[in-house]
């Protein structure tokens, strides 16, 4: 099993991806965040194997910048 962190500014996108991924028994959703700043902090805390992140998020770090943190 591996843990996935979902990061997108749009809640409906996150929820839709969550519903799709929850259909796979080997995937555990570690959490959902709505901006790059939260993603960086949560990655350090939750230690997901995969971060599925929108690249163009307003308000703080975008996905490109957050990925390099």
Is there a contact between 49 and 31 (Cβ–Cβ < 8 Å)?
no
Are the C-beta atoms of 9 and 39 separated by less than 8 Å? no
pTM of the predicted structure, to 2 decimals: 0.90
Residue spans of the domains in the chain: they are: 7-24+33-46+59-69
**Distance between CA atoms of residues 55 and 57, nearest Å:** 6
CA distance 42 to 46: 6
Residue with the two structure tokens 């390099």: 68
- pLDDT per position as a tens digit, 37-65: 999 999 999 999 999 999 888 777 888 78
Angle at CA of residue 4, ends 13 and 34, nearest 5°: 40
User: Quick one: pLDDT band at residue 67, thresholds 50, 70, 90?
Assistant: confident
């Amino acid at each position: 099993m591996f843990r996935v962190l979902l990061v997108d500014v749009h809640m409906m996108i996150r929820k839709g991806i969550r519903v799709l991924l929850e259909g796979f028994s080997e995937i555990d959703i570690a959490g959902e965040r709505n901006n790059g700043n939260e993603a960086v902090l949560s990655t350090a805390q939750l230690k997901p194997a995969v971060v599925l992140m929108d690249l163009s998020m307003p308000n703080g770090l975008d996905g490109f910048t957050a990925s390099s943190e």
